[in-house]
Structure 1
């Protein structure tokens, strides 16, 4: 059949400039450009076959599938009309008004708006400028929900405008074993198991993280009695507790709450073996644009602070109380107040020099392996990320 060929069956219409029809098999074939329209989707490609007995299309090269919600492109696509199911292979891309999904292969259920992607997953959200990479994903568009359960990595790039220039000012990386993304009113990401977080000078390791994008809040939790506490690193400080909540405003940390078994340890830049430490049931840290401004500790306060005279070591102070308040200026303590049966004890420099490891609080643990960008965002992941940002 040559010249403006049209094949119809019920609501199905196939268009091509030149094609073949095999009557015994009830099959059509064309390699001159094919268009399929079944009133549900429009499917085009350079090469196409249709099997009428199975109601199945097999389209190859420059494949595009259009429906009222999304557009899918790939190297090859199988379309099962009765099931409203499409299986796409090679350079797969599915896009709607909010998201673009890239994958090596993908199964798409059009009627229920559900997709399963495999290999080099890249989910790009146009609204919040986030990208999630992984090896396998499930996307439920009608529920505004995605699940990535193979090597997920969330990348959130914050930018600012200066004249006509877009400048990257910070990048949030969250890596875990399982990640869930909710694109509803809460606009939240949940990272589960072996979570690592990195953003500027802030880093964390924990088992469970919730990130509220719109509210700019990050919550990390201990998942069980035998589980490890969330650990955070910020500048020269290490923070840990059963639950840690980080509150941001315009991408800057405003407050950190450490709840239950809270501990902060900070080393001195010139004396790295000396850790100022404070523990309590709850610790609240308050920040402004210059850094930490205030530290409030509640219940069972224990502290060790090293003293300096003109930047030279001058002993330490051990203290206990029911609550405490510390004020800072330029990241240095300018005042300390203890409340509720306060007790303090000075240890001179001659006694503590060279014995700093003997002056740790009972709950102090020095955590290693702070997350690093080079390990989280590997060259292979960078290649996958760039695929969605060309």
Structure 2
């Protein structure tokens, strides 16, 4: 009889336990978890708490469905733990994980191990993710990888706001797609509008425009607008790769409009290219016209010529300078390659034309003034000519002055004397120390390329899901 009674009590307890599992339970009135199926159920005590253990379980709560190898339900608190091959389905996303701590009263899930969240065309990978099913916010505190149809993004930490389709990434941020690569210390991005803000140690390579961009802060959007604030630097290689232009400025604004690129530089702008260099407070460049406009205290250099004036325009023809223009109280200084003396040309308007990259003509009008040092047959300094004229046109060959055409003029010829080399026109400016030079070192990314491989071996249920829903099967 005692043995029969003992068997009866054990069987009754097992039956009661199964009935409890089959009935829905809830941590709060708002979050009811239903047990849809399981292969085996076991009752246990963990640290003094009653726990129900389900194996090969399928659970639902509201519009969330979960399958896993095992699930633990804590009887006296609103917590469920799931282990092994977890897959969670909601109307908005599918989630895979090795381990799950789900707090039903807060809709909060602590996902650990190999965590994957897929939403529309976006797939997120991480090893430690806190996810709220109500707010649709995911916190990745041990690495994040985001993949979509445009490319891949990785960082040390990240927060993904699914409802806003936005994300914040921090620590060694890298973005990579077929057209560009970018990196920085932190990033805010709205993927719907393709608007982003990249902070600190910004480095961008744009293969479409053969450009490299660096700075302290980058702002970009879907219109092709990119704004750099702080230590802005742009390197752009010509389409034929024969010419490289380097632009530094406190601020850079780049606008891409159809096939036209506009560049704006502000504050302490410095330009260097093999054919010309400049400094100014403001720079405008239009790729459709190939004109650099230098405004506010600009100086431009070409070979041994320095041009100074309130406004300077540099007309490029591919990689060669075709024309220099300067307006209002302009002065050009040319250093003689043989004697080192400084030829000086001054006027209200100056236009310099170039042929095959060498200066061919300079026109100065009105109120032109010229100081030109002469040489004797042996190439030694031999006096100078200084005059004023309404207009002066100077013709050059291979950079050497060959002919001068001037209107009615008033001038002097100076015999050679000590100190003649130091003679200056009013407004003279010669600043070789300010001339930009080619950067000695090329900027380069701090980090190795974004790996093609995912951060971990893919979970079995994820592989099955992808192979079922994709034409490109994958392996674990």
Q: 1: CA distance between counterparts of 2:149 and 2:289?
A: 32
Q: Which of 182, 203, 216 pairs up with 1:101? A: 182
Q: Give TM-score scaled by structure 2 length.
A: 0.71
Q: 2: CA distance between counterparts of 1:378 and 1:74?
A: 31
Q: Which residue of 2 aligns with 1:346?
A: 413
After superposition, the Cα gap between the structure-2 partners of 1:378 and 1:20, relative to the gap in structure 1 and judged at 3 Å, is farther
Q: 1: CA distance between counterparts of 2:387 and 2:105?
A: 92
Q: Which residue of 2 aligns with 1:225?
A: none
Per-residue CA deviations over 1:183-241 (Å, capped at 9, x if unaligned) read 2233111100111111125221110001223543211112xxxxxx2111222111011
Q: Which residue of 1 aligns with 2:362?
A: 295
Q: Does 1:356 align with 2:424?
A: no
Q: Does 1:208 align with 2:275?
A: no
Equivalent residue of 2:327, what SS? Answer: strand
Q: Which of 265, 288, 291 pairs up with 1:217? A: 291
Answer with 1 or 2: which has the greater Rg: 2
Map 1:1-390 → 2, pairs under 5 A: 1-39=82-120, 41-61=122-142, 63-96=144-177, 98-140=179-221, 142-158=222-238, 160=240, 169-185=242-258, 186-200=260-274, 202-222=276-296, 229-272=297-340, 274-289=341-356, 291-310=358-377, 311-339=379-407, 341-350=408-417, 353-357=418-422, 359-373=423-437, 377=439, 382-384=443-445
Q: Give TM-score scaled by structure 1 length.
A: 0.86
1:147 and 1:181 in contact (8 A); partners too: yes
Equivalent residue of 2:424, what SS? Answer: coil
Per-residue CA deviations over 1:29-80 (Å, capped at 9, x if unaligned) read 3333222123263222233231224321122555222345453222222101
Equivalent residue of 2:443, what SS? Answer: helix
Runs of 4+ in 1 over 4 A off after TM superposition: 383-390
Equivalent residue of 2:156, what SS? Answer: strand
Name structure 1 gaps, 5 residues minimum: 161-167, 223-228
1:174 and 1:195 in contact (8 A); partners too: yes
Per-residue CA deviations over 1:147-189 (Å, capped at 9, x if unaligned) read 11111111123475xxxxxxx6443211111110112233111
Q: Which residue of 2 aligns with 1:226?
A: none
Q: 1: CA distance between counterparts of 2:286 and 2:211?
A: 12
| Structure with more of its chain in strand, by fraction | 1
Equivalent residue of 1:181, what SS? Answer: strand
After superposition, the Cα gap between the structure-2 partners of 1:367 and 1:97, relative to the gap in structure 1 and judged at 3 Å, is same
Q: Which residue of 2 aligns with 1:163?
A: none
